[in-house]
Structure 1
Amino acid sequence: MNRRPTSRRSALRLGGTALAAAGAPVLGVPAPGPSAEAAGRRPAPGSPGLGDPLFPTLGNGGYQVAHYDLTFDFTPVTYDYTGRVVLHARAQQDLSAFNLDTDGHTIDSVTVDGRAAGWALSPGGSGQELTVTPARPLRRSDAFTVTVRHHGNGKAPRSGLTGWRFGSDGGFACAAQASRADTFFPCNDHPSDKATWTFHLSAPEGYVAAANGELLRRTRRADGSTVWHFALRERMATELVGIAVVRGTYLYGSSHRGLPLRHIVPRGQEDRYRPVVDRTADHLAWLEAKFGRYPFSVYGCHIYDGHSDALENQTLSLFSTDWFTPDAAGRPRYETTMVHELVHQWYGDSVTPADWQQAWLNEGPAVHYAALYGEERGWSVLDDKMRAAYAGLDKIRAQDGPPGRPRELGGTNIYDGGALVLYALRLRIGDKRFARVMRLWPERFKDRNVTSEDFIRHAVRVTGDRSLHGFLRDWLFGAVNPPMPGRPDWRADT
């Protein structure tokens, strides 16, 4: 994410638009299954949270999702929607019940393996908890399928923040990071539970639908609307979902090695944004020279006036229309933002933090390489940016925590502070070894979840320098800045 300087396959229509009051208990059908004793086990409920250091109640324990299949039928202007989400999961313990994260939906029905399940809605830490009681307890290692049908309105109140972004066209785009995928559909909303995805999104005449991954086909319905079917074959965390229904135009291209590119721009502004999105091919070539092959099968930019920032939704980064204005000298410095979000496809999307306190592993590389791209084009000086970050980081460490242990998301400590950690490492080990550390990281850990300790061990392994254990821990977890290698005159602000 880039911050502003100030801070199975079928289309299904479901009826109804009323929204349950956020946090109000709602009971479903009773669970008629056998007792735990009758099942020969002592199953227990899965935990309602995973104990994330920053979001303790986010996610749910007792199971792992392998695949999401989402059907979403949205009506522009009124913002009503109906949905069906099918989760293909595996139990990690004997389960008498389990939770899903949800917020602001009316739940119409819940089934587990095709049988009606008991369910209840209750207040959660960041939204609501949907507790599901299957008709029969689930055994550890059982594969099971959960189907939840729900409806609501995109503008209706949520218990917490919303992931909905509304544009002037009456449509919407999804900006779910960090914990708001549950405002679109019930899910296991934590980055440690990555899954593959299929999407089936309806769009009325005059609108297009967008989602992560590849467009498989479109099917026309009798009412004139179209269902767009997408598949993302690489695993993705829920916070990177990028569904949308907008008045937009698809623009197509390819990278220098033939990777398909598809972009969505506001309808009627194709001539304005075609030169912007065409820069993506060069950005990909520049980053592939540093990180190796792009980790997914498609990429693109979605430019939309309903979003105010930039966000690394997997395979389809989301950008505000406000980003794309040249600077006073006519230079397209907005390209550094495009590079920032593209870096995330390797650092954050393919290689994903195990929990939110590891977010510097996403933002540090994105800030570092975006600044390096700007420096190579004469727009800025990386050393100046890092010196300024060094000067202010001690105060930020005291207030918001060090880069490796932030007390919340969105702070300078994980953005510029994370980049500063990498800058110090580069000065310590030299450009050549640093380039090898950064290139081998997304290759070695592709499609996995990682921690800061994984990065420290990786740097030691690649360089053979065991002293990096202490060096990186000081930079990541220390209360004050260590001395910057090769920059003895750098001082922190007092």
Structure 2
Amino acid sequence: MTTSRRAFLTQAAVAAAITVPVLGSPAGAAGFDPRPGSDGVGDPLFPTLGNGGYQVVHYDLTFDFTPVTYDFTAVAKLNAQATQDLSAFNLDTDGHTIDSITVNGRAASHALSLGRSGQELTVTPAAPLHKGAPFDVTVAYRGNGKAPRAGLTGWRFGSDGGFASAVQSSRADTFLPCNDTPSDKATWTFHISAPEGYVATANGELTGKDKRADGSTVWHFALRERMPTELLGIAVVKGTYLYDTSHTGLPLRHIVPQGQEDKYAPIVARTPDHLAWLEAKLGRYPFSVYGIHIYDGYTDALENTTLTLMGTNWFKLNADGNPTYENTMVHELTHQWFGDSVTPNDWQQAWLNEGPAVYYAALYSEERGWSVLADKMKATYAKLDAIRATDGPPGLPKALGGTNIYDGGALVLYALRLHVGERKFERIMGLWPRRFKDRTVTSEDFIAHAVTVTGDRSLDRFLRDWLFGAKNPPMPGHPDWTATT
């Protein structure tokens, strides 16, 4: 164990074991007015997602899973800080049996009710909490991965009897009681059990393994950077770890299906080149480890922090014999900068995630000779006016998952690049993840950032028209581009 890792593990252990002294002022003291925290943070697209009255500092999750039956028992520990005087507060949860809850080591009462996207777990501590005070919550709970949920589920099941989590945007509550909003980022530690023949995965670095008498192993992971719940990436699968390093020495660990190592090893071996390509444009990779988890229980691709999840269905050559699945690998890797390290404060800012991911994947494809970026952008320009009218403009979407957020977001960046020139554009994009590393941001932050970096105040109006306008502005350098009527 290196000195730096030993120091980090000590810090993580301390963070996970914070205790809080008895708070000073008694209830009723002057200025102390405890009230329940809100059951949502007012996200424009998910009004009841997340909870008010506190911010989580650290999550510590112990998860004991049994494959095939899908039963689990778990303990979630939250170290948090009150942002108001609290008589009660909520956690997002869905489909769990709650066995006990303590706040600051004392038994707390709790109640479950139906929420808009899952269930609301209302916790009433034995003593009210003061604004600014740290506090600990420990929830012991159990459930089954295939049990009915009030909302959507984040569980994905493979042919091996295991699972992987895919919780974006509002499904982390199917794995643990939490503050399920991107505006609340925290550090994490994980302790996940896997029986013999299975491996466990999670965000962050593997810090140790403990063998148990029954033959199972508890895998310990720690993520030192702050992560929102929607990027939770845990799994128990029949898989094999493949290890590598980037060209700059970054540790890489991938998980591929057991028995298919020869098939997938050359694919994940492309990761160092992808990292080098992106680091040349965006600066140093913002986390301490990276990898790809390939799993047959998933058919999409998802940028879980430090461990992208991809289905086995992705990895086919195109009609010309090119490995264009690498575009998707680059797309998800780009998210580690845009979305994972620098995170939108609410879901209406999602173009800040998807626009750069689509743009850089398309640029990578062009540089490999597989496609032409301008052709893709011209096609997007033609249809985006109609999409703005039905789904909202890129910066004010009415829902998640639309072309306006993805290709429309990339089109905004393409227009910006043509308007300011390649050099200034690279400075805007490269300085963004360095300036806002580990923080949450809005479109307003991006607009102000572009103005600051270039010194060009006209970019404020330029970007507002592209992000929020009802119609496409003229594309710089392409007066012939028109929208389809």
TM-score of the aligned structures, taking structure 2 as reference length: 0.94
Map of 1:147 onto structure 2: 138
Q: Secondary structure at the match of 1:65?
A: strand
Matched, 1:226 2:210: no
Contact in 2 for aligned 1:36/1:96 (Cα 8 Å): no
Q: Distance in 1 between matches of 2:267 and 2:401?
A: 27
Q: Aligned AA for 1:77?
A: V
Assess, with a 3 A threshold, how the Cα gap between structure 1 residues 377 and 114 changes in structure 2: closer, same or farther: same
Map of 1:427 onto structure 2: 418
Q: CA deviation at 1:328?
A: 1.7
Q: 1:342 aligns with which of 329, 333, 342?
A: 333
Matched, 1:354 2:345: yes
Map of 2:21 onto structure 1: none
Matched, 1:243 2:243: no
Map of 1:289 onto structure 2: 280
Q: Aligned AA for 1:153?
A: N
Q: Distance in 2 between matches of 1:247 and 1:401?
A: 43
Q: Aligned AA for 1:486?
A: G
Map of 2:437 onto structure 1: 446
Q: Distance in 2 between matches of 1:39 and 1:452?
A: 40
Structure 1 residue ranges (4+ consecutive) displaced by more than 3 angstroms after TM superposition: none
Q: Secondary structure at the match of 1:475?
A: helix
Q: Aligned AA for 1:55?
A: F
Task: Give runs of aligned pairs for residues 20-419 of structure 1, distance below 5 A.
Answer: 36-37=27-28, 41-419=32-410
Q: Distance in 2 between matches of 1:85 and 1:349?
A: 22
Q: Distance in 2 between matches of 1:260 and 1:397?
A: 42
Q: Distance in 1 between matches of 2:236 and 2:71?
A: 12
Instruction: Say which is worse superposed, 199-208 or 35-44, in terms of deviation.
Output: 35-44
Q: CA deviation at 1:483?
A: 0.5
CA deviation vs aligned residue, 1:52-78 (integer Å, no higher than 9, x gap): 000000000010000000000000000
Q: CA deviation at 1:42?
A: 1.7
Map of 1:476 onto structure 2: 467
Q: Aligned AA for 2:477?
A: G
Matched, 1:460 2:457: no
Q: Secondary structure at the match of 2:354?
A: helix
In structure 2, stretches of 5+ residues that fail to align are: 1-11, 14-24
Q: Secondary structure at the match of 1:346?
A: coil
CA deviation vs aligned residue, 1:380-431 (integer Å, no higher than 9, x gap): 0000000000000011001100000000000000000000000000000001
Map of 2:20 onto structure 1: none
Q: Distance in 1 between matches of 2:32 and 2:392?
A: 44
CA deviation vs aligned residue, 1:328-384 (integer Å, no higher than 9, x gap): 222110000000000000000000001000000000000000000000010000000
CA deviation vs aligned residue, 1:304-333 (integer Å, no higher than 9, x gap): 000110000000000000001111222110
Q: CA deviation at 1:178?
A: 0.3
Q: Aligned AA for 1:65?
A: V
Q: CA deviation at 1:40?
A: 7.1
Q: Distance in 1 between matches of 2:463 and 2:280?
A: 25
Q: Aligned AA for 1:448?
A: R
Q: Report percent identity of matched pairs.
A: 77
Map of 2:5 onto structure 1: none
Q: Distance in 2 between matches of 1:214 and 1:79?
A: 25
Q: Secondary structure at the match of 1:256?
A: coil
CA RMSD of superposed structures (Å): 1.1
CA deviation vs aligned residue, 1:206-251 (integer Å, no higher than 9, x gap): 0000000000000000110000000000000000010000000000
Q: Distance in 1 between matches of 2:413 and 2:176?
A: 37
Q: Distance in 2 between matches of 1:463 and 1:329?
A: 41
Contact in 2 for aligned 1:39/1:137 (Cα 8 Å): no
Q: Distance in 2 between matches of 1:261 and 1:85?
A: 28
Q: Distance in 2 between matches of 1:251 and 1:288?
A: 22
In structure 1, stretches of 5+ residues that fail to align are: 1-7, 10-33
Map of 2:480 onto structure 1: 489
Q: Aligned AA for 2:103?
A: V
TM-score of the aligned structures, taking structure 1 as reference length: 0.93
Q: CA deviation at 1:449?
A: 0.4
Q: Distance in 1 between matches of 2:286 and 2:59?
A: 20
Instruction: Say which is worse superposed, 326-335 or 107-116, in terms of deviation.
Output: 326-335
Q: Aligned AA for 1:287?
A: L
Determine which structure has greater relative contact order: mean sequence separation of CA pairs < 8 Å that are 6+ residues apart, divided by chain length: 1
Q: Aligned AA for 2:419?
A: R
Q: Aligned AA for 2:151?
A: G
Q: Aligned AA for 1:364?
A: G
Q: Secondary structure at the match of 1:119?
A: strand
Q: Secondary structure at the match of 2:412?
A: helix
Q: Aligned AA for 1:207?
A: Y
Q: Distance in 2 between matches of 1:38 and 1:284?
A: 56
Q: CA deviation at 1:35?
A: 8.7
Q: CA deviation at 1:36?
A: 4.0
CA deviation vs aligned residue, 1:17-58 (integer Å, no higher than 9, x gap): xxxxxxxxxxxxxxxxx9943797220011100000000000
Q: Distance in 2 between matches of 1:39 and 1:306?
A: 56
